């Protein structure tokens, strides 16, 4: 389960998605999220599905590698589905018991929210899987550049996000090592119900937090030893420049969002 977490990891590949400017991918991710939560029709979700599948194909990342990150949110998916299914009032009631009820609106909401969460995890994972932390930092800093005129620490914000993304796979690996070490000493993380499994995970938190703080302190000391500062204007070894493919990608993304919104208004979900 721990090794199934793909957020923050980079999957090297020679694809058109990997070669896109990180600013394009940041913009695409934002527009994808907007389209995903604005989409309310069958045709709109069909367009989103086609767009997502096409992007995965172009990225040349194995579909199984992308979807294994969904294992970590199975419980969230179940809770979301149950709450929407049994606690949403509607025009037609198919089953009723106390405060619990199954209605036409509840069924529709349960299906839509489950699909949205799955698509959200897959879509946002594509950005980190096809973009290195350095590229992501440069793209975010460049995109937020105008905010520096009003004294917003853009570089510091971008650097913190980059470091946070770098720490995710490191902490996942550290958690796996601690679990294996404790299992070798007789710890049991597999048996029992959900509550017992959650309690068994508590002994992992202390050594994991100690390791995280130690790594953060070592990183801070290393940056200070190299006289790192965010106050000066920093140059880039590889400055970002838009290519023709980036401009084409922008037009495709904008067209995609417009189509989803228009189709969602014209052809909504049947109730």
pLDDT digits (tens, 9 = 90+) for 194-223: 677 667 777 778 888 888 888 888 888 988
Return the percentage of the chain with pLDDT > 70, whole number.
Answer: 89
Phi and psi (nearest 5°) for 103? -120, 170
Report d(CA 234, CA 236) in Å as an integer.
7
DSSP H helical ranges for 39-103? 42-59, 63-67, 74-86
Report d(CA 221, CA 68) in Å as an integer.
36
pLDDT at position 178: 82
Q: Which domain holds residue 41?
A: 2-266
- Confirm whether 178 is domain-assigned: yes
Q: Looking at mean pLDDT, say which of 21-30, 118-127, 232-241 comes out highest.
A: 21-30
Assign 3-state DSSP to the chain and report helix, strand, coil percentages, each to 5. Answer: 70, 5, 25
| Largest CA-CA distance found in the chain, in angstroms, rounded | 67
- Domains of the chain: total: 1
Are the C-beta atoms of residues 175 and 209 closer than 8 Å to each other? no
Report d(CA 93, CA 67) in Å as an integer.
34
Q: Is the Cα dihedral 202, 203, 209, 211 positive or negative? A: negative
- Confirm whether 29 is domain-assigned: yes
The mean pLDDT of 29-40, rounded to a whole number, is: 89
pLDDT at position 231: 61
pLDDT at position 20: 92
pLDDT at position 6: 60
pLDDT at position 52: 92
- Confirm whether 271 is domain-assigned: no
Tokens representing 253?
């993304």
Distance set, CA 36 to CA 117, 122, 224, 250 (Å): 9, 12, 42, 17
- Confirm whether 177 is domain-assigned: yes
- Confirm whether 250 is domain-assigned: yes
Are the C-beta atoms of residues 119 and 33 closer than 8 Å to each other? no
The mean pLDDT of 109-129, rounded to a whole number, is: 87
């Amino acid at each position: 389960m721990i090794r199934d977490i793909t957020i923050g990891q980079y999957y090297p590949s020679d694809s058109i998605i990997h070669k896109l400017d990180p600013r394009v991918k940041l913009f695409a991710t934002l527009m994808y999220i907007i389209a995903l939560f604005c989409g309310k029709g069958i045709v709109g979700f069909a367009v989103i599905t086609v767009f997502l599948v096409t992007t995965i194909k172009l990225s040349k990342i194995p579909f199984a590698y992308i979807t294994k990150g969904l294992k970590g949110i199975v419980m969230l998916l179940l809770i979301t589905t149950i709450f929407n299914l049994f606690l949403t009032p509607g025009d037609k009631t198919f089953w009723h018991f106390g405060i619990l009820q199954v209605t036409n609106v509840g069924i529709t909401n349960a299906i839509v929210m489950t699909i949205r969460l799955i698509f959200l995890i897959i879509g946002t994972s594509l950005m980190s899987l096809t973009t290195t932390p350095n590229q992501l930092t440069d793209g975010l800093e460049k995109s937020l550049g105008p905010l520096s005129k009003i004294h917003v620490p853009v570089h510091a914000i971008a650097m913190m996000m980059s470091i946070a993304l770098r720490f995710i796979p490191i902490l996942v690996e550290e958690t796996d090592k601690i679990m294996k070490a404790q299992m070798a000493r007789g710890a049991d993380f597999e048996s029992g119900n959900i509550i017992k499994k959650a309690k068994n995970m508590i002994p992992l938190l202390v050594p994991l937090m100690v390791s995280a703080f130690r790594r953060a302190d070592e990183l801070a000391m290393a940056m200070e030893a190299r006289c790192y500062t965010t106050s000066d204007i920093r140059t880039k070894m590889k400055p970002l420049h838009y290519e023709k493919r980036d401009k084409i990608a922008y037009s495709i993304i904008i067209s995609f969002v417009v189509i989803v919104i228009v189709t969602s208004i014209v052809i909504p979900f049947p109730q």
